[in-house]
Structure 1
Amino acid sequence: MSNKSNSLSMLLSFIAGVGLASSYFLFFNKISNDAYPQSENTRQNVTIKVSSNNKLSSHDVSNDSNLNSALITANQNATRQFVEQEYTQQISTLTDELAVKTKELKRAEQQLKSTQLAQLDDVDFSKQLDEKFDNESENTQWSYEIETALTDFLITSNLSNSAQLSDLECKQTLCKFVIVAEQSNEQSNEQGHAQWRELNDKLTAMPWWQQFKLTTSSSNDEKIEFVVSIKE
């Protein structure tokens, strides 16, 4: 009887222990099931957040790259426009300068041509006068009158000490004469053409000189030669 009671007590204790152990394992599994899914969800959320952050970061990098490309393009366009404007301005300036130089060159060419034509005309004119002078007969009375007028002119103009009349001859409508510098007057010789310009200016202002319709002259440091005509 005592043995049966002990055995029954041991059996009940074993059953109670098994039940307690089962309850413990069931409780532990429930806690694990509740904990681990939450942790997994947390990892998923983290993964999702990280993934989202990665996408945003990639998007930002793409925007930065596009912005840099746009800035580079804008700078290149601005530089090209600036260079084009500079070249356009330089070309415009050079074009204006070329136009001015072209006008100056044409003006110089015209002046040179006019001078050359005038020189040719003077040569032809002098040649014509010489030919006409050779074909005319001498007029001694007129020669005396012109010689007297020129001598008086040199005296009254205070030029007799620096120049003298030489080789005068008059024909019917033309006269030729030469005025030479005094060899003893070194200052007059050094003045050269300036002296003859002064003489010519004073001579052409004389009243009796107005009878001449055509006049030509040539000079060097030593003398000045005139050919004058009362006819055109």
Structure 2
Amino acid sequence: MMKNNFTALLLAFIAGVACASIFFGVILFSQLAAIADDAQSEQAYQKFVTEAQSISLESVSDHAVSKHSQTAEVDVLESSTPSSDVENTRALETQLAQLQVELEAQRKLVKTYEKRLTAPSDLEQALLTKFDEQNRNEEWAYRTETAMKDFLQMADLSISPELVSAQCKSSVCKFELVAPQDIDDFGHTQWRELNDQLVKQEFWQQFTVTTSKSSDRDFSLLLATESD
């Protein structure tokens, strides 16, 4: 009887120890698991914090570099723009001065050519001098002037010019003609046509010396029956 009781007590003790071991084992496992989870969470948290700080620092650094770069660019632009404007202005002023010098030189050249073109030739000047010195031979002068007027009225010309001046002395005549005011396409072709028909006229054959000047709008003739 006592042996059976002892055996029962022993089994109960063993069972209690086993239950306690299992209970404490479960608790210990739970704590270890919790500790492991906490450790992993802590590591994850630390990793997150580290990465966040790294990203923040990189962002701040990039922003600072970008800000510094933009500031530097603005400073460069602000410092270079006025200098560039001044240089461009000086270059334009230099070019303008050169163009003005060239223009003035061209003007002087044109005036020189104009004087040469408008200045009478030696022959023309000699005839003008003779014309000024002569007295008017009324009969001859009137006959010659009338012949010129009649020719212009009767000539078969595509466009007839207007005789604005006809002056004869004793051996020298001056005739001045202009293009009609209502015709714009009158030019050298019409003056050449006039001259070609003039030289065929009988009254024209008496002149041995002739000079002429023409433009699109006017035509002047200086004629003499004698060369001396």
TM-score range relative to shorter protein: 0.3 to 0.5
TM-score normalised to the size of structure 1?
0.44
TM-score normalised to the size of structure 2?
0.44
Higher helix proportion, which one?
Answer: 1
